[in-house]
C-alpha cells in the first residue's frame, strides 16, 4: 500500500509538503515583498514559522522558497546569535518577472484592500483625535522626533511603523486596531512595516511622509477629528502609489 505524502517523515506534517507550483508562488511573493521595499536591504525576514503562518503554507514550503532567494543573491542566511535570513539587495532585474506575476494576479484585490486600509486609517486617526490623552500626545511627539532623526531606509521605515502603531494605540480601540493590522497583513507578506519603495525615490518619499506625519500628529494633538481623518487617508495612499510605481516598472501598468 502506498503511503501518503509525508507519512513516516519524523516531524513533518502532510500539510507541509506542497507542490512545486506552490513553492513558485511563495517565492514570487517573497521576491515581490523585497522588491517593493516591504523588507529593505539589511532587514531580517520573519522566522520561518511566522512566514508560514502569514502565508498559510507549511514551513517546508517557506524553507524551499527562502533557499531560492539565497540562490538568487537576494537573501543570506546567518547562523548563531542574531541569526536568520537577511535581505542583501532589493530589486535586481532578475526579480522583475516574479514581481510582474505577483502583481498581475493581485491587481484588483490590492487596489480594493489599499482603499479599505486608507478608510480605516482615517477612522482610527479620527478616533485618536477624539480619545488621545496627554500621555498619548507625548508619545506621538517622541515617535515623530525619532522619525525625523532616522537615517534613510530601514531606520526610517522602522521609525515610521512605531509612529503609526502609537497613533493606533491613541485611538484606544482594540477592535479597530486588530481589524486594521489584519487587513494590512493581507496586503503584505506580514512585515510590521509599510512599503518603502525603491532607492531612487526613497528619500523624496521619506521627506514627504515627514511633512504629512507632522500635520497628522498636530491634528490628533489638537483634537481635530475631520482633519486627522482626511490627512490619514491621503498619507496612507502612499502605499498604493508605491505599488503602482512597481507595477509600471514590472510592465503590469503602462500608464
pLDDT digits over 139-173, tens only? 999 999 999 999 999 999 999 999 999 999 999 99
**Model pTM score:** 0.87
State what percent of residues in the chain have pLDDT above 90: 77
User: Which cell numbers in the block locate residue 212?
Assistant: 504629512
User: Can you give the pLDDT at residue 106?
Assistant: 87
Region 212-228: mean pLDDT is 98
Place of cell 531606509: 153
Cell numbers found for residue 53: 503562518
Backbone torsion region of residue 132, taken as left when φ is above 0, otherwise alpha when ψ lies between -120 and 50, otherwise beta? beta
pLDDT digits (tens, 9 = 90+) for 67-125: 999 999 999 999 988 889 999 999 999 999 999 999 998 888 889 999 999 999 999 99
- The radius of gyration of the chain from alpha carbons, rounded to an integer in Å, stands at 20
Whole-number pLDDT of residue 67 = 97
List, for residues 166-207, the tens digit of each pLDDT value: 999 999 999 999 999 989 888 877 666 788 998 899 999 999
pLDDT for 255 equals 62
Assigned fold of 22-87: Arc Repressor Mutant, subunit A (1.10.10)
Identify the band that residue 9 occupies on the pLDDT scale cut at 50, 70 and 90: very low
Q: Domain boundaries in the chain?
A: 22-87, 106-250
Which residue has better confidence, 129 or 200?
Answer: 129
Q: How many CB atoms lie within 10 A of CB 102?
A: 24
Choose the weakest-confidence range: 16-20, 54-58, 66-70, 73-77: 16-20
SS3 per-residue string spanning the chain: CCCCCCCCCCCCCHHHCCCHHHHHHHHHHHHHHHHCCCCCCCCECCCHHHHHHHHCCCHHHHHHHHHHHHHCCCEEEECCCCCEEEECCCCCHHHHHHHHHHHHHHHHHHHHHHHHHHHHHHHHHHHHHHHCCHHHHHHHHHHHHHHHHCCCCHHHHHHHHHHHHHHHHHCCCHHHHHHHHHHHHHHCCCCCCCCCCCHHHHHHHHHHHHHHHHHHHHHHHHCCHHHHHHHHHHHHCHHHHHHHHHHHHHCCCCC
In the chain the beta strands, taken as DSSP E runs, fall at: 75-78, 84-87
CATH number, domain 106-250: 1.20.120.530
pLDDT score for 188: 78
pLDDT of residue 232: 98
Amino acid at each position: 500500500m502506498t503511503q501518503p505524502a509525508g507519512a513516516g517523515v519524523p516531524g513533518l506534517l502532510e500539510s507541509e509538503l506542497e507542490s512545486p507550483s506552490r513553492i513558485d508562488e511563495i517565492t514570487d511573493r517573497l521576491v515581490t515583498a523585497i522588491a517593493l521595499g516591504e523588507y529593505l536591504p539589511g532587514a531580517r525576514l520573519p522566522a520561518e514559522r511566522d512566514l508560514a503562518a502569514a502565508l498559510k503554507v507549511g514551513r517546508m514550503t517557506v524553507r524551499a522558497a527562502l533557499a531560492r532567494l539565497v540562490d538568487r543573491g537576494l537573501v543570506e542566511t546567518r547562523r548563531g546569535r542574531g541569526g536568520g535570513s537577511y535581505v542583501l539587495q532589493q530589486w535586481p532585474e532578475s526579480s522583475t518577472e516574479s514581481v510582474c506575476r505577483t502583481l498581475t494576479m493581485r491587481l484588483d484585490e490590492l487596489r480594493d484592500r489599499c482603499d479599505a486600509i486608507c478608510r480605516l486609517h482615517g477612522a482610527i486617526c479620527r478616533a485618536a483625535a477624539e480619545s488621545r490623552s496627554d500621555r498619548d500626545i507625548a508619545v506621538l511627539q517622541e515617535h515623530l522626533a525619532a522619525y525625523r532623526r532616522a537615517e534613510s531606509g530601514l531606520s526610517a521605515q522602522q521609525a515610521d511603523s512605531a509612529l503609526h502603531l502609537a497613533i493606533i494605540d491613541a485611538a484606544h480601540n482594540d477592535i479597530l486596531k486588530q481589524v486594521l493590522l489584519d487587513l494590512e497583513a493581507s496586503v503584505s507578506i506580514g512585515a510590521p512595516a509599510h512599503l518603502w519603495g525603491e532607492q531612487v525615490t526613497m528619500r523624496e518619499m521619506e521627506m514627504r511622509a515627514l511633512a504629512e506625519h507632522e500635520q497628522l500628529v498636530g491634528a490628533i494633538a489638537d483634537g481635530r477629528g475631520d482633519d486627522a481623518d482626511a490627512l490619514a487617508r491621503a498619507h496612507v495612499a502612499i502605499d498604493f502609489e508605491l505599488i503602482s510605481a512597481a507595477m509600471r516598472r514590472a510592465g503590469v501598468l503602462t500608464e
